[in-house]
Amino acid sequence: MRQNDSDPDEWALVGDHDHEILVHPERDVTALVALFPQLSEEERSQLTYYIATSTSVTFGNLLPSDVTQLTQSEAEALGWFVNQPS
């Protein structure tokens, strides 16, 4: 998690969209799905099914459809990394 240097009320989850995550055979997605209360029932079902039927998932496919995704350059332009050492 990363707090926006320009706006302390904004937080971001930083990750590689294509990062592969192995799924544990005893998976329980209850806690993960609870992190996204804004999901529609359809999107919640799709996420649950995707994880339940996969041995691995990509980080980008776990993100809800309503998230804002930024590149490093876009985040820098929006002030996310103002206080980073050069």
**By percentage, how much of the chain surpasses pLDDT 70?**
97
Q: What is the SS3 assignment for the chain? A: CEECCCCCCCEECCCCCCCEEECCCCCCCHHHHHCCCCCCHHHHHHHHHHHHCCCEEEHHHHCCCCCCCCCHHHHHHCCCCCCCCC
Q: Across all residues in the chain, what is the average pLDDT?
A: 87
pLDDT tens-digit series, residues 53-74: 999 999 999 888 888 888 888 8
Domain spans, the chain:
1-16+69-86, 18-66
Q: Answer with the residue of higher pLDDT: 43 or 82.
A: 43
pLDDT of residue 11: 83
pLDDT tens-digit series, residues 18-47: 999 999 999 888 888 888 888 999 999 999
